[in-house]
Amino acid sequence: MKPLFFVLCAVFAACGLIAQVPVWQPSPGHTQVLIWPGVVPDALPVAGPENETRMAADSLVAGRPWAYVGHVSQPTMTVYAPVKENTGAAVVVFPGGGYQILAIDLEGTEVCDWLTSRGITCVLLKYRVPGEGLYPKSGPYPASLMALEDAQRTVGLVRFHAEEWHRDPHKIGVLGFSAGGHLVTAMSTHFRRRLYPAEDAADKESCRPDFAVAVYPGHLSLADNSFALNPDIRVHITRQTPPTFLLQNEDDHVDRVEDSLSYYAALKKAGVPVEMHLYAQGGHAFGLRRTKLPVTGWPQLVEVWLASIGMIRQ
């Protein structure tokens, strides 16, 4: 399986870039908050300053450009409040990008727009991706602890502030794409202990998600054409792994369908409630953008599933 980053490299070489701006900023009315109060744990050197890059017009997704953030060394979370009646549910969103970049709008802010329109609080995590020069040292967990540390910390923070933010501490989930989908599975199986020394009271809260949504997840099988699940995920799957929703396309040549199937089978074996949707076409890295393909309706399937497990009302 090739990480999304290497696929993107070919796109960059062929298409070029539109522009770089110093640092990504959320839309007006939203503020990034550093998730670590002091020194960031297990920090690695970064090849350059954090930047946002907007892709060229001939690298469109569903006819629209997209942007990514690279060289993230200071992780932040941005809270997006519901625009309709508050359901009490909250979702921490992990954009994908091969643990090298973050597709910050395609698999980040656009997801928050959808969730908040359904009464769900969205917490967008800009987790650490030091850059391509460090791959594979900054690759999938457990080779890199950084992204999982950031995710554990963020779920703990959301649960710690749940009452203050008028959220239900028992309705906090995670949703991620590609490498972010892998991070969803890591969070679903590595919640019993923090990977870092406790910073404050937020780290005493459980970092177990109450539900998990993994969209075209990667890094789950050992090798191409293999159904052998990554043992670092497999051995930690128990009945306490949260209810999970999986989505994959059979023509996804970046993160293969075998990855999702292997994880689905392991969850079923452990007695974990899991729902999986497979589609023949749709490829990889499409986010929520509408196309003519049937997979484009997947957000509505997630909404029905969330209602079925009692997280929201239909």
Q: What Rg do the C-alpha atoms of the chain give, in angstroms?
A: 18
- Confidence band of 271 (pLDDT split at 50, 70, 90): very high
pTM, to two decimals: 0.91
- Confidence band of 259 (pLDDT split at 50, 70, 90): confident
pLDDT at 13 over 60: no
- Confidence band of 258 (pLDDT split at 50, 70, 90): confident
pLDDT at 130 over 80: no
Candidates 126, 133, 152; CA nearest to 45 is 133
* Collapsed DSSP state (helix, strand, coil) of residue 279: strand
The whole-angstrom separation of Cα 75 and Cα 85 is 29
pLDDT at 102 over 60: yes
The whole-angstrom separation of Cα 36 and Cα 61 is 33
- Confidence band of 56 (pLDDT split at 50, 70, 90): low
pLDDT at 310 over 50: yes
Alpha carbon distances (Å) from 113 to 4, 61, 65, 117, 244:
24, 17, 17, 6, 22
Look over the chain and give the mean of its residue pLDDT values, rounded to a whole number. Answer: 88
- Strands of the chain, DSSP E: 17-21, 32-34, 51-55, 67-70, 76-80, 90-94, 101-102, 121-126, 172-177, 211-215, 244-249, 274-279
Summarised one tens digit per residue, pLDDT across range 135-178 is 555 566 666 789 999 999 999 999 999 999 999 999 999 999 99
Q: Which residue ranges form the domains of the chain, and what is each CATH number?
A: 4-308 (3.40.50.1820)
Residues 103, 83 contacting (CB under 8 angstroms): no
